Structure formats: C-alpha cells, structure tokens
Amino acid sequence: MEEQKKKVILSGIQPTGVFTLGNYLGAVRNWAQMQEDFHSAYMIADLHALTVRQEPADFRKRILSCYALLLACGVDPDKSVVFIQSHVPAHSQLGWVLACNTQFGELSRMTQFKDKAAQHADNINAGLFTYPSLMAADILLYQADLVPVGVDQKQHLELTRDVASRFNGIYGQTFTLPEPYIAKEAKIMSLADPTKKMSKSDPNPNGCITILDEPGAIVKKFKRAVTDSEMEVCYREGKDGINNLMTIYAAVTGLTMEQIAADFAGKGYGDFKAAVGEAVAEHLRPVRERYADLMNNKDYLTECYRKGAEQAANISRRTMEKVYKKVGLLAK
C-alpha cells in the first residue's frame, strides 16, 4: 500500500506575554491537535518581537515563559520541532535574501505595517517594514505545505507565496508554496466589548482571560461579561456577547450550539455565565499546573529548546545551502 506523505506545517507566535483564551482556543490548542497528523514545527518568534522595543531582562524571561506555555498547552517536543527563532541563524540569513527579493511596494501594502506604524509612530523601524520577509523565511526554510494562521496574518502568507513563486521562477524550483490553514475555530471576543477581539491590551481587565488566570478570577470575569437585554441563550445575529460565550463554551465542552441552547432553555444569563466560567476554569486548570511544573524545571526546558534548535537547524540548513548556491554566493 502506498503510504501517504505527511504534510509539513509550521507556525509561530510572538512572545508578547501570557497567551489569552483567544490565542489558546483559536491557535495553540489546534497546534497540539495537528501534530498528530503532520510533520510539525512551532516556534517562538522572538526576532519578530524585536520590531517593538523590548526591555531586555523582561524580554528574556518572557521568551522562556512563552516556550513553557507552548508545552503546557500540549505542544509536545517529542512529536514536533519546538524551537526559538533566534536560536536558528538561518532565519535571519534567509530573511535577508528574501528581503532582497521583496519589493518596497509590496511591503508598503501590508495592512499590519500600516496599523503598527500608526500605533508606534515614534519607532517605525526598518524591521517593522521588512517583517514579512522574515516571516516568509520562517515558513520557506521548512518547505511548509500548510501554515495555521489567523486572518490577521493571511496577507503575510500571500506575500510569502508571491515571493516564493517569484524566486522559483528566477532561480528554479527552490521553495514549496505554502497554503494558509485558517482555523475553523471562531474568533474569541472581549468579554467587556464583544465586538472587539479578546486582547491583553483590552482597556477593561475583565475583557480578557489569560490561560494562567486563577479559577476564581476566571469565574468572576465571566460573571461580568457583557451580554444583551434579552433572556434567551441562543446563537443569533446581534447577540454578540451571548454568541461569544456560546462559542467559548462549545470550544471547551465540545457541545454544539443547539445542545447549549437546549441545556439552558428557561434559565437566565446568570446561570449560563457561571457555567461558562466554571467550564473554562476547569479546562485551563491542567494547563496552568503543567506550566508551573515546567517553570520549576528549567533544565528540562533548556534541554527541549536546545534539541528543537538542533532539529530546526538540520532541516533549514538544506534549504539555506540551496538558496545561497542558487543566488550565486561563493561556497566557503
């Protein structure tokens, strides 16, 4: 019987801090599931995070803590290559070559650049501008077939494909063209303003749940979640708050929207919010416990990220050598 070749997936997350419930349900939890079916590589995109000024001591801690969070969320270093971007020099090396093959005009059209430039008007650095070339390098180094990303990264992935096919056209077949793998999971919205995406920078601290929140705090935030003036727990247009709570409840219990609506028929929003809070708190309990264990075992974490860096270096070296040769650099 012909064995089907497993596809390669790669994704990355910036070490901006503790993951939110949205990061977890919308991305990282899926990564853990996908590692069963694919050759998977997951990285902490620390070089990307340098596009924003970081406080060095705090940044260093955050990188390690985010690495531990990935493992706590079920990303398994025995099943996936789990590494830290800056530990694999090929990312910067290919990033440069690709920057030389990406047009100013293309980068200028990136909506994330425009948004971030507006947010950080005092630090519109060249890295912020060429960020998509580095992201393209992350992906193309591993010859990834699929890249699980949220909609906000879709434009960067399209640029990656454009750059890769242009490079292949000029220098001959070098890179696999990656497909976006947009998670089916719905976006998780702020509990305080369900028209906005859940974010750590939510001005209202009750809007955002992080995966390390204590159970009591989680339950309390859900109790305060903004809903509407009706009474019916059902998924319907215009009921942003309830829709969001139902989405979260479905994601952690596996129930369908119909089952949830039936279970809470005739009950008030108060009961429903309490149930969602309890379910989320229980769901995150093992994640929080695993994280605490990992952070108490730095030797193990070091062993894991060193192994990941070595594996990633071995895979990416082949692409890097090919690229240097194709563009005509002299071998040493």
Count of residues in contact with ligand TRP, rule CB under 6 A: 13
28 or 323, CB closer to ligand TRP? 28
16 or 206, CB closer to ligand TRP? 16
Strand, helix or coil for residue 128:
helix
Q: Closest separation between CB of residue 283 and ligand TRP, Å?
A: 23
Contact positions with ligand TRP (CB under 6 A) in 151-190: 153
Per CB under 6 A, the segment of 10-18, 277-285, 309-317, 319-327 that binds ligand TRP is 10-18
Taking residues 106 to 145 in sequence order and writing x for each that binds ligand TRP by CB under 6 A, - otherwise, the string is -----------------------------x--xx------
Contact positions with ligand TRP (CB under 6 A) in 267-306: none
Catalytic site includes residue 197: yes
The residue annotated as part of the active site, out of 7, 79, 187, 200, is 200
Half-sphere exposure of 291 (CA within 13 A, CB side): 19
- For every residue of 89-117, DSSP letters joined together read THHHHHHHHHHTTS-HHHHHT-HHHHHHH
127 or 215, CB closer to ligand TRP? 127
Q: Are 35 and 28 in contact, with CB atoms under 8 Å apart? A: no
Under 8 Å CB-to-CB from 228, ≥6 apart: which residues? 238, 239, 240, 241, 242
Q: Does 14 bind ligand TRP (CB under 6 A)?
A: yes
Q: How far is CA 176 from the centre of its chain?
A: 21
Query: DSSP character for 42?
Result: E
Name the helix (H) or strand (E) containing 23: helix 21-23
- 175 vs 319: CA distance, rounded Å: 8
Q: Are 41 and 8 in contact, with CB atoms under 8 Å apart? A: yes
68 or 84, CB closer to ligand TRP? 84
Catalytic site includes residue 116: yes
- 198 vs 161: CA distance, rounded Å: 29
13 or 99, CB closer to ligand TRP? 13
Residue 96 tokens read as 């440069």
Q: Are 307 and 80 in contact, with CB atoms under 8 Å apart? A: no
Q: Closest separation between CB of residue 294 and ligand TRP, Å?
A: 22
- 249 vs 191: CA distance, rounded Å: 13
Q: Closest separation between CB of residue 184 and ligand TRP, Å?
A: 17
110 or 279, CB closer to ligand TRP? 110
Contact positions with ligand TRP (CB under 6 A) in 28-57: 45, 48
**Binding footprint of ligand TRP on the chain (CB under 6 A):** 10-14, 45, 48, 135, 138-139, 147, 149, 153
Question: Catalytic residue positions?
Answer: 116, 197, 200
